[in-house]
């Protein structure tokens, strides 16, 4: 689908190297490169294997160059009794920013949400990322300041799972 000059398509298993490049570039932007352990093999398994955990769309310029991506998955709102979409990652390469490509990717996801009868499209943003926060608010997105994200990972996740 062409939106704002960006050809947005669902990713396929052949796009795994593009996806990993975008993940690494996003991590670099967020100063979190040290946390990336994703590999092409892991992405093939978790995104395109027997039970895909998420979906990815990639936006291409008119010259066929990957400009950015969005990785998302389904969630559910008990209060709305409707499914939703959680946007895990949205990234536009620096050289393509300011052209409406981020908005195009969000518009694409909003359309998917509408087609699937979703009640929400939501995501998290680092509190220091003022350009992203300003951008999201310009689209009408509302910050959920009263909510705090909690996470279990690695050893703490294993410890809780192993308790009897």
102-145 confidence digits (pLDDT tens) = 999 999 999 999 999 999 999 999 999 999 999 999 999 999 99
Please give the structure tokens belonging to residue 108. Answer: 């694409």
Please tell me the pTM assigned to this model.
0.94
Q: What is the mean pLDDT of residues 75-100?
A: 97
What pLDDT score does 2 carry? Answer: 84
pLDDT 10s digits, 20-41:
999 999 999 999 999 999 999 9
Q: By the 8 A CB rule, do 85 and 73 touch? A: yes
Q: What is the mean pLDDT of residues 60-72?
A: 97
Q: In the predicted model, is pLDDT for residue 164 greater than 90?
A: no
Q: For residue 47, report the phi and psi dihedrals to the nearest 5 degrees.
A: -100, -25
Q: How many CA atoms lie within 13 A of 50 on its CB side?
A: 0
Report the C-alpha gap between 85 and 118 in whole angstroms.
Answer: 7
Q: In the predicted model, is pLDDT for residue 1 greater than 90?
A: no
Cα-based torsion angle of the residue sequence 96, 99, 104, 105 in order, rounded to the nearest 10 degrees: 20
Q: By the 8 A CB rule, do 58 and 43 touch? A: no
Domain 2-162, CATH class in plain words: alpha beta
Dihedral (CA of 94, 23, 102, 15) sign: positive
| Residue 45 Cα distances to 33, 37, 54, 65, angstroms | 22, 14, 11, 25
Q: In the predicted model, is pLDDT for residue 157 greater than 90?
A: yes
């Amino acid at each position: 689908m062409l939106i704002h000059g960006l050809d947005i398509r669902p990713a396929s298993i052949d796009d795994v190297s593009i996806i990993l490049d975008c993940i690494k570039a996003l991590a670099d932007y967020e100063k979190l490169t040290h946390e990336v352990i994703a590999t092409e093999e892991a992405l093939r398994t978790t995104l395109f294997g027997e039970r895909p955990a998420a979906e990815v769309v990639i936006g291409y310029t008119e010259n066929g160059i990957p400009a950015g991506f969005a990785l998302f998955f389904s969630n559910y709102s008990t209060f709305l009794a409707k499914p939703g979409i959680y946007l895990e990652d949205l990234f536009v390469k620096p050289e393509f920013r300011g052209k409406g490509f981020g908005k195009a990717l969000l518009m694409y996801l909003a359309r998917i949400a509408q087609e699937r009868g979703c009640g929400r499209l939501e995501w998290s943003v680092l509190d220091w990322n003022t350009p992203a926060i300003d951008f999201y608010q310009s689209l009408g997105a509302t910050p959920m300041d009263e909510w705090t994200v909690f996470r279990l990972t690695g050893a703490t996740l294993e410890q809780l799972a192993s308790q009897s």
